[in-house]
Amino acid sequence: MFRVAVISLFPELVEAVTRVGVTGRAVERSLLSVETWNPREFAQDRHRTVDDRAYGGGPGMVMRVEPLGETIRSARASLPSGTRTIYLSPQGRVLDQALVEELAQAPGMLLVAGRYEGVDERLLENEVDMEVSIGDYVLSGGELPAMVLIDALARLQPGALGHAESASQDSFSADGLLDHPHYTRPETVVGKPVPPVLLGGDHEAIRQWRLKQALGRTWQRRPDLLARRELNEEERRLLDE
Ligand code: SAM
């Protein structure tokens, strides 16, 4: 089982992943566990304060070293050794499928979702192993990024996806291509028929058609992905056709 602990001031937001879709199914099948830790419960004062004004002035509040540090240490003690502590941050390494696959090798992960202007820098230096961003934009909290990471990881747990689905065929998976287009009933939609090859039952022809589509749309939409890999003979031929 892949074990995730999330430190958040809004645990109810993160817990939604345990109830729906692929992530919910992974939890139900004991392939994934998601527990939440709220730093407010570790605050010592009667107002359960977790933030304070920034030294040097300026707008916004900063999450204090304590009680967040106390929460991190308690959560870490409950997780298997080898679990990395990851702070979700717009300044971190930008998440991609390669990083998801790397993180999936561990027994679990401890995610720290920030709020306000972020977290006291000394806490990051002392308690955090890595920072991960979900893209070059700023959100108001790390909960949605944590949920993004949990979802991407859940898909990679063996048995998490249904029979017909396979993470290995998705975009950015082992072949490094975008996925091919998908069609379902009805056969014609506003005058657009399903590509005839998909109706013929010739599995080899379908495989080749899908590969050609995947190559074509990767070349059109994300040429940077193709630039990162060698084309094999079949792929070169299909692209040239
Ligand atoms: N002042 C910070 C900065 O500019 O780098 C942004 C703080 S943001 C308003 C509050 C929290 O949201 C952050 O502590 C982080 O946990 C989370 N966050 C915001 N954008 C994110 C992103 N793109 N990826 C991951 N986490 C993000």
Q: What 3-state class would DSSP assign to 53?
A: strand
d(C-alpha 208, C-alpha 234), whole Å: 9
The whole-model pTM stands at: 0.95
Which regions in the chain score pLDDT beneath 70?
A: 163-165
* pLDDT reported for residue 163: 63
Name the residues annotated as catalytic: 90, 117, 155, 170
* pLDDT reported for residue 169: 79
Atom of ligand 1 nearest to the CA of 118: 14
d(C-alpha 31, C-alpha 68), whole Å: 28
- What separation in Å is there between the alpha carbon of 241 and the centre of ligand 1? 46
Query: Does residue 137 have a known ligand-binding role?
Result: yes
Question: In 3D, which of 176, 113, 106, 107 has the Cα closest to residue 148?
Answer: 113
Ligand 1 site, CB within 6 A = 88-91, 113-115, 117-118, 133-135, 137-142, 145
d(C-alpha 174, C-alpha 16), whole Å: 29
Does the domain formed by 2-156 have CATH 3.40.1280.10?
yes
CATH class as words, domain 175-240: mainly alpha
Question: So where are the chain's domains?
Answer: 2-156, 175-240
* pLDDT reported for residue 164: 47
CA angle 161, 5, 103 (to 5 degrees): 55
* ipTM of the complex, rounded to two decimals: 0.99
- What separation in Å is there between the alpha carbon of 8 and the centre of ligand 1? 13
Q: Which residue has a Cα nearest atom 21 of ligand 1? A: 90
Instruction: Give the orientation angle of helix 143-156 with respect to helix 21-28, to 10 degrees.
Output: 60
* pLDDT reported for residue 174: 80
- What separation in Å is there between the alpha carbon of 24 and the centre of ligand 1? 26
**Residues pairing with 113 in the sheet:** 88
